[in-house]
Amino acid sequence: MIPSYGIAAAEWVAAFLRLSAARFDVAARVNLAYMNSDLLMVVSLLGAAIVMFALNRPRVDAVALIMMVLLPFTGVVSMDEALAGFANSSIVLIAAMFVLGEGLARTGIAKRLGDWLVLKGGSGELRLLATLMLTVGTLGALMSSTGVVAIFIPVVLRIAARTGVQARMLMMPMAFAGLVSGMMTLVATSPNLVVNQELIRLGTDGFGFFAFTPFGVPVLLLGIAYMAVARRWLREKIDPDKTVRARPRMADWIEKYELAGREHKVRIRPNSPLVGRTLGSLKIEEVAPGTLVIAIERNERFYKDVLRPRPKTELRAYDVLLLDAVPDTHDVDAICEQFGLDLMPISSPYFADQSHEVGMVEVMIPTDSRFAGKTIAEVRLRDRYELSVVGLKCSAKRKPEQRLSEQVLKTGDTLLLVGPWKTLRTLQDENSDLLLLHLPAEFDEVLPAAKRAPLALVSFGLAVGLMVTGALPNVQAALIGCLLMGLFKCIDLEKAYRAIQWKTVIMIVGMMPFALALERTGGVDLAAQALVGAVGNAGPHAILASLFAITVVMGLFVVNTANAVLMAPVALAVAKSLEASPFPFAMIVALAASAAFMTPVSPVNILVITAGGYRFIDFVKIGLPFTLIAMVVSVLLVPIFMPF
């Protein structure tokens, strides 16, 4: 049985075309009984597509492929025209923006913004909310809003864990800011590019890069003010018995194993006797017993590299050694003077700022381990796994005069290991001598190409700069950015292909022929006449409001990009019938397509449902008033910046 909302969606097309029949005495033309057979077939297929979209059966890209195959059977469009979307520059631009966004994510630029957010937002709930929404709204203006929200979900969870603010009170505001970011720039979201393509097809120059900004900024600021009040409706009573214990963080282990104060950073001077020597030849344990080299920082030409402390690693001038040395056992200043080293300031407890390269893991000695009965030095974990033991917890008391390396391991002892993430990951798969107990929360935040962040920023900045200045077509500028990302190894080809949301791309391509089919069969003109007939006497502002409302209602059943594909031709036909500029009408549809605040099934909102623990009614309750705010702002401002 088809749900009532599915039937309503299917009937919307017919109802929309009949909207103003009485007023304009065009009932015979608008009534479905008098439609030509071609239009009836196209409308029937469109109605079937909307029902399948609403039911999400089959998935949206499969629906688009079905329509792409069936439409040519109507004779209205040819198979070549049905496939023409694959050669559309806007489709290529959408795919390229996915790749650029993935490059920013893999190099940690978005994560660094999140860390900055934690720093600047403090612990105040209102300040956190405002900073979060501003950050997501700004970043989403330059990359996929869906990608931005996906990146910031772990950031919000981390903020919630550190500050005690409920994650559900931040997740929905973040998602709404991601949706509003689609109102900021031309490339912020796919519907903008779809509407812009319709304008270009009409013979205009299309929208400028920042044409959306005058409307998106006020909506974002009002959204922050609105969520400051509405967030209280998201607060939930928490049952202490059902509270899930969070995974430990490296900061917890630094405190548990009393590592603070053991960290040292020293830089090798050009005249140091260490220059040119390998770590293996130094025998640091003999010179400074109990001292460990955790990692080596080395400045390359465009980035800072973090090297593993392997025996064959040759030291260079200006290398920075990250050392673990127990306090009061060594005179660090004397060691620096002896070996020509400069003591560097520490920016975070126990090298936490290097967590993208160097990690920690807690392991236990199982009953059948070969390491039981041996000292930590005899186990030689550095040689076996490139891991260093920096902490030990056991039931028996240790002799206070014994160094860590001299401790004898026993079954049940817990060790804290430090080393590269790649090595730590292998402990999950194959090791019978060490039982992995805990991986820290930072394990899920490891960045594949963190050292390439400056190069990714240059690549992305160049692409955006070329778009803003108009020096090159947008799609060519984006492709240049993608090629540079690949050249600088910010992303490889395999990851680039995976980054593209092919479901979205196929869905857009498959629905694009409907715009052409409805235009050729007169469906677009009939829809425009119906809308003008219903509210035309009330003035152009009323028509804009009606277009906005219809697009939002359509968005409850159809994903925003397909919504833009269907509504953009109607908006342009309305402008033509009024002999007005097409820009304000096209803009209102693009803005409304991003205003999917009431539905949890939008690509952005669906990401936060589980993380925020939301129900469908939560989006309606919070999203409906905000949708009205966005509509009022859009209807008032669009004619000011884009006169009729």
* Whole-number pLDDT of residue 63: 87
Is the pLDDT reported for residue 379 higher than 90? no
- Cα separation, 475 vs 187, in Å, equals 10
Work out the average pLDDT over 381-389: 81
End of a domain among 439, 459, 479?
Answer: 439
Give me 364's structure tokens.
Answer: 């236990």
* Whole-number pLDDT of residue 392: 87
* Whole-number pLDDT of residue 179: 92
Same domain, 386 and 340: no
* Whole-number pLDDT of residue 582: 92
For every residue of 543-558, which 3-state class applies, written as one string?
Answer: HHHHHHHHHHHHCCCC
Q: Measuring CA to CA, which residue among 184, 206, 204 is closest to residue 195?
A: 206
Helix then strand then coil, in percent of the chain rounded to 5, is 60, 10, 30
Q: Summarize pLDDT for 6-62 with one digit per residue, the tens.
A: 444 444 444 444 443 333 343 334 444 445 788 888 888 988 887 887 676 788 788
CA 13 to chain centre: 34
Q: Summarize pLDDT for 132-153 with one digit per residue, the tens.
A: 899 889 888 877 777 677 667 7
End of a domain among 310, 325, 354?
Answer: 354
Asked whether residue 541 is assigned to any structural domain, the reply reads no
- Starting from the edge strand earliest in sequence, which strands make up the sheet with 358-364, in order? 388-393, 414-420, 358-364, 435-438
Same domain, 340 and 396: no
| Contact present, 13 and 46 (Cβ < 8 Å) | yes
Q: Measuring CA to CA, which residue among 226, 147, 186 is closest to residue 597?
A: 226
Same domain, 341 and 261: yes
Q: What is the CATH number of the domain that holds 330?
A: 3.30.70.1450
Among 115-124, 248-257, 455-464, 519-528, the least confident range: 115-124
Is the pLDDT reported for residue 446 higher than 80? no
Q: How confident is the model at residue 329 (pLDDT cuts 50, 70, 90)?
A: low
Q: Measuring CA to CA, which residue among 12, 62, 73 is closest to residue 517?
A: 73
**Which residue has tokens 């129900």?**
615
Selected residue with higher pLDDT from 525 and 174: 174
E-only strand ranges, 206-287: 263-268
Is the pLDDT reported for residue 277 higher than 50? yes
Asked whether residue 399 is assigned to any structural domain, the reply reads yes
Q: How confident is the model at residue 115 (pLDDT cuts 50, 70, 90)?
A: low
Of these ranges, 329-338, 341-350, 392-401, 556-565, the one predicted with the greatest mean pLDDT is 341-350
Work out the average pLDDT over 176-193: 89
Q: How confident is the model at residue 286 (pLDDT cuts 50, 70, 90)?
A: low
Q: How many domains would you assign to the chain?
A: 3
Same domain, 415 and 347: no
Q: How confident is the model at residue 514 (pLDDT cuts 50, 70, 90)?
A: confident
Work out the average pLDDT over 56-72: 86
Q: How confident is the model at residue 110 (pLDDT cuts 50, 70, 90)?
A: low
- Cα separation, 309 vs 385, in Å, equals 12
Residues in Cβ contact with 138 at an 8 Å cutoff, skipping those fewer than 6 apart: 181, 184
Same domain, 155 and 292: no
Helix (H, G, I), strand (E, B) or coil at 457: helix
Selected residue with higher pLDDT from 159 and 268: 268
End of a domain among 354, 383, 415?
Answer: 354
Q: Measuring CA to CA, which residue among 250, 447, 417 is closest to residue 349?
A: 250
* Whole-number pLDDT of residue 251: 82
Same domain, 129 and 230: yes
Q: How confident is the model at residue 291 (pLDDT cuts 50, 70, 90)?
A: confident
Q: Summarize pLDDT for 530-569 with one digit per residue, the tens.
A: 777 776 566 788 889 989 998 888 777 666 777 788 888 8
* Whole-number pLDDT of residue 23: 38
Asked whether residue 346 is assigned to any structural domain, the reply reads yes
Same domain, 350 and 277: yes
Selected residue with higher pLDDT from 607 and 169: 169
- Cα separation, 85 vs 297, in Å, equals 49
Asked whether residue 491 is assigned to any structural domain, the reply reads yes
| Contact present, 257 and 335 (Cβ < 8 Å) | no
Q: How confident is the model at residue 357 (pLDDT cuts 50, 70, 90)?
A: confident
Same domain, 434 and 456: no
Work out the average pLDDT over 56-79: 88
Rg of the chain over all Cα atoms, to the nearest angstrom: 30
Work out the average pLDDT over 507-522: 80
Work out the average pLDDT over 522-535: 72
Is the pLDDT reported for residue 131 higher than 70? yes
* Whole-number pLDDT of residue 429: 62
Is the pLDDT reported for residue 4 higher than 60? no
- Cα separation, 457 vs 536, in Å, equals 48
* Whole-number pLDDT of residue 20: 38
In one-letter notation, the amino acid at residue 171 is: M
Q: Measuring CA to CA, which residue among 377, 321, 372 is closest to residue 344?
A: 321
Asked whether residue 165 is assigned to any structural domain, the reply reads yes
Burial 435-463 (b: 16+ CB within 10 A, else e): beebbbbbbebbbebbbbbebbebbbeeb
Same domain, 116 and 229: yes
Is the pLDDT reported for residue 169 higher than 70? yes
Helix (H, G, I), strand (E, B) or coil at 475: helix
Same domain, 99 and 181: yes
* Whole-number pLDDT of residue 632: 94
Q: How confident is the model at residue 255 (pLDDT cuts 50, 70, 90)?
A: confident
Range(s) of the domain holding residue 350: 250-354
- Cα separation, 296 vs 320, in Å, equals 6
Sign of CA dihedral 609, 615, 621, 627: positive
* Whole-number pLDDT of residue 18: 45
Same domain, 341 and 266: yes
Q: How confident is the model at residue 481 (pLDDT cuts 50, 70, 90)?
A: very high
- Cα separation, 125 vs 68, in Å, equals 48
Same domain, 102 and 220: yes
Among 191-205, 266-280, 559-573, 627-641, the least confident range: 559-573
Q: What distance separates the 2 farthest-apart alpha carbons in the chain?
A: 100
Residues in Cβ contact with 207 at an 8 Å cutoff, skipping those fewer than 6 apart: 186, 192, 195, 196, 199, 583, 586, 587
Q: How many percent of the chain have pLDDT more than 70? A: 82
Q: How confident is the model at residue 284 (pLDDT cuts 50, 70, 90)?
A: low
Asked whether residue 56 is assigned to any structural domain, the reply reads no
* Whole-number pLDDT of residue 430: 59
Asked whether residue 68 is assigned to any structural domain, the reply reads no
Asked whether residue 463 is assigned to any structural domain, the reply reads yes
- Cα separation, 160 vs 613, in Å, equals 14
Query: What's the whole-model pTM score?
Result: 0.64
